[in-house]
Amino acid sequence: MSEKQLSENSRSPWSWVPSLYFYQGIPYSIVMITSGLIYKTMGVSIAVFAFWTSLLYLPWAIKPLWSPYIDVVSTKRNWILWTQLLLGAAFIAVGFAMQLPFYFPVSIAIFAIIAISSASHDIAADGFYMLSLDQHKQSFFVGIRSTFYRFAMLTALGLLPLIAGLIQENTGLEPVSFQVGAVQYDQFKASDVAGFQIIRQEGAPKILIFPKNVQIPIFEKGKSALDSAVIYLALSAPPAEGETIVVNLGRNSGSKDIDLPKNRAGRFEFTRMNWNKPVSAVIRVDHNLTNPTHTLFKATAGNIAFSWTVSLGAIGLVLLLLAVYHRIALPKPLDTKEKTKVDLKVYGEVFISFFTKPGIIPALIFFLMYRLGEAQLVKVATPFLVDSRNSGGIGLTSAQYGIAYGTLGMICLTLGGILGGVVASKYGLKRLIWIMAFAMNIPISVYVYLSTFQPAPGDFSIYLSIAAEQLGYGFGFTAYMLYMLSFVGESKFKTAEFAIGTSLMALGMMIPGMISGYMKELLGYQHFFIYVLICAIPGIIAIRFLKIDSTFGMKKK
Instruction: Verify that 160 and 211 share a domain, yes or no.
Output: no
CB 245 within 8 A of CB 301: yes
**Overall domain count for the chain:** 3
> Number of C-alpha atoms within 13 angstroms, CB side, residue 67?
32
Same domain, 510 and 442: yes
- Least confident range of 232-241, 292-301, 387-396: 387-396
The percent of residues in the chain predicted with pLDDT above 90, rounded, is: 18
pLDDT tens digits for range 149-179: 878 877 877 778 778 878 877 777 888 888 9
Whether 498 and 400 share a structural domain: yes
Total residue length of the chain = 557
Same domain membership, residue 164 and residue 77: yes
pLDDT at 278 over 50: yes
- Say whether both 90 and 227 belong to one domain: no
pLDDT > 50? residue 1: no
Last residue of a domain, one of 245, 274, 301: 301
Q: Collapsing DSSP states into helix, strand and coil, what is residue 363?
A: helix
Which range in 29-38, 88-97, 171-180, 548-557 is most confidently predicted, on average pLDDT? Answer: 88-97
pLDDT (0 to 100) of residue 46: 59
What is the tens place of the pLDDT at every residue in 320-348?
999 999 999 999 876 655 545 555 676 77
Same domain, 393 and 313: no
Q: How is residue 301 annotated by DSSP?
A: E
Distances (CA, A) of 63 to 70, 395, 408: 10, 40, 34
Check residue 315 and give its pLDDT.
93
Q: Could you tell me if 392 and 525 are in contact, meaning their C-beta atoms sit under 8 angstroms apart? A: yes
Output 33 or 47, whichever has higher pLDDT. Answer: 33
Q: Produce one character per residue of 207-245: b if its CB has 16 or more CB atoms within 10 Å, e if not.
A: bbbbbeebbbbbbeeeeeeebebebbbbbbebbeeeeeb
CA angle 107, 125, 362 (to 5 degrees): 105
Q: pLDDT, tens digit, for every residue of 35-68?
A: 877 887 777 765 677 677 777 878 887 887 777 7
Which residues, 6+ apart, have CB-to-CB distance to 159 below 8 Å?
Answer: none
What is the pLDDT at residue 43? 72
CB 470 within 8 A of CB 412: yes
Confidence band for 290, pLDDT divided at 50, 70 and 90: confident
Residue 149: CATH number of its domain = 1.20.1250.20
pLDDT of residue 326: 95
Transcribe 211-237 into DSSP letters. Answer: -SEEEEEPPBTTTB---EEEEEEEESS
11 with 29, same domain? yes
Domain boundary among 301, 327, 360: 301
Q: Which residues contact 364 (CB under 8 A, 6 or more apart)?
A: 504
**pLDDT score, position 6:** 44
The angle at the Cα of 28, spanning 120 to 326, to the nearest 5 degrees, equals: 60
* Same domain (yes/no): 309, 387: no
Residues 6+ apart with CB under 8 A from 90: 110, 113, 114, 117, 316
Same domain for 467 and 556, yes or no, is yes
Query: For residue 68, what are the CA distances in angstroms to 104, 251, 364, 412?
Result: 33, 50, 20, 37
Q: CA 65, CA 76: separation in Å to the nearest integer?
A: 17
Do 349 and 367 lie in one domain? The reply is yes
Residue-range definition of the domain harbouring residue 109: 1-171+304-338
Judge if pTM exceeds 0.85.
no
Mean pLDDT of 216-244: 82
| Residue 71 and residue 122 in one domain | yes
Cα separation, 329 vs 84, in Å, equals: 14
- Do residues 311 and 267 both lie within one domain? no
Last residue of a domain, one of 250, 280, 301: 301
Q: Please report which helix (H) or strand (E) contains residue 1, including its range.
A: none
